[in-house]
Amino acid sequence: MHLPDFNYYQPETLQEACEILGRYGAKAKVLAGGTDLLPKMKQDVLAPEALVSLKMVSGMSDIEKVPGRGVVIGAKTSPNDLVNSSVLHENFMSVSEAAHSMANNQVRNMGTIAGNIVNAIPSADLPPILIALSATVTLVGPVGSRTLVLEDFITGVSRTAIAPDEIMEEVVIPEQSTTGSAYFKFGLRHSGALAVVGVAAAVTMQGSLVRDVRIVLGAVAPTPMRAKKAEEILRGKNVTDDLIAEAGKSAAVECKPISDIRASEEYRRDMVRVFTKRALRKAIYLEQSES
Ligand SMILES: Cc1cc2nc3c(=O)[nH]c(=O)nc-3n(C[C@H](O)[C@H](O)[C@H](O)COP(=O)(O)OP(=O)(O)OC[C@H]3O[C@@H](n4cnc5c(N)ncnc54)[C@H](O)[C@@H]3O)c2cc1C
């Protein structure tokens, strides 16, 4: 398996990168860690005329808590940066845990948060927990930047709202009262396996009352999907084991899994039921032990 020929660019600024992307349109691709892009090129799935590397563009690799904004994560941040971030450990441990569930150590060092999001495969591990935490993404283009809610950014299998001449600059988890969040992934191996099912939950509690809840399911629909009926079962109610079980059943009905080589539709639905309960229980426990 060989890489096809392509023109390679290493711009030093985002503006320069956008300008090169603009010249090629859909025939160019941004290259970050290359863990998705290069295998696809070797397998003849993609053959871009040009790769625009972000390697020499400075910045975009910090994770910071910014007052008034939340936790700001640079687009070039690797999964292992997320795993090891003290800012995330203090604020959103669930994001570190989701990153730790990805791939293997080499891929976690090479890959990036933006690559995981823009690649937009249904089993990606970071989007569900980031959507549960209401994350936004900022895109830089030739005429400025725009910010989108991540939930709306991923539009289909390998499809997003990004334009060919735009680059993702940062991901922001906004300030929020919730601290209770969790991500549970089921893969066929402990390491290096894509999610068969991934479930993220984020809750805001007032004593035993569920003030707000977001449940996001991964690998069981073309895009990460909110289990909105399951959320409604819990929102505004005093939490009980029965309600959590009901929410799990609802999520299993709401999801839209396929049968493939890794699991049948029925199995995925049952795992959604089980993992929704687990994610909710952990998120609620964490939220209650914080307050
Ligand atoms: C062995 C192996 C195991 C894996 N296991 C998992 C797993 O368990 N869970 C999981 O979720 N993923 C997994 N992956 C997929 C992959 O590693 C991740 O999705 C990774 O985060 C991709 O990041 P990257 O920087 O390497 O992306 P790249 O390959 O560089 O890019 C991917 C896509 O994103 C675009 N892109 C990248 N950065 C930007 C940017 N800043 N702005 C605009 N577009 C951008 C590229 O143009 C390309 O279309 C695995 C991959 C491998 C090879």
Task: List pLDDT tens digits, range 227-236.
Answer: 999 999 999 9
99 lines ligand 1 (CB under 6 A): no
Mean pLDDT of 56-70: 96
117 lines ligand 1 (CB under 6 A): no
Q: Cα(77) to centroid of ligand 1, in Å?
A: 12
Task: Give the pLDDT confidence score for residue 188 in this predicted structure.
Answer: 86
Confidence of residue 80 (pLDDT cuts 50, 70, 90): very high
192 lines ligand 1 (CB under 6 A): yes
Q: What is the CATH number of the domain that holds 107?
A: 3.30.465.10
120 lines ligand 1 (CB under 6 A): no
Residues 140, 190, single domain; the answer is: no
Mutate to test the pocket of ligand 1, among 8, 13, 102, 166 (most ligand atoms within 8 A of CB): 102
Residues 25, 126, single domain; the answer is: no
Q: What is the mean pLDDT of the chain?
A: 96
32 lines ligand 1 (CB under 6 A): yes
Mean pLDDT of 62-82: 97
Residues 79, 160, single domain; the answer is: yes
Residue 291 has pLDDT above 90, yes or no: no
**Measured from the CA of 168, which atom of ligand 1 is nearest?**
42
Residue 72 has pLDDT above 90, yes or no: yes
* pLDDT tens column, 212-260: 999 999 999 999 999 999 999 999 999 999 999 999 999 999 999 999 9
Q: Domain count of the chain?
A: 3
Mean pLDDT of 87-114: 96
Tell me which residue range forms the domain holding 76. Answer: 63-173
Considering only residues 178 and 201, tell me which one the structure prediction assigns the higher pLDDT.
201
Residue 75 domain flag:
yes
What are 110-113's contacts with CB under 8 Å, separation 24+? 110/33, 110/34, 110/35, 110/78, 111/32, 111/33, 111/35, 111/36, 111/78, 111/79, 112/32, 112/33, 112/75, 112/76, 112/77, 112/78, 112/79, 113/73, 113/75, 113/77, 113/78, 113/79, 113/82, 113/171
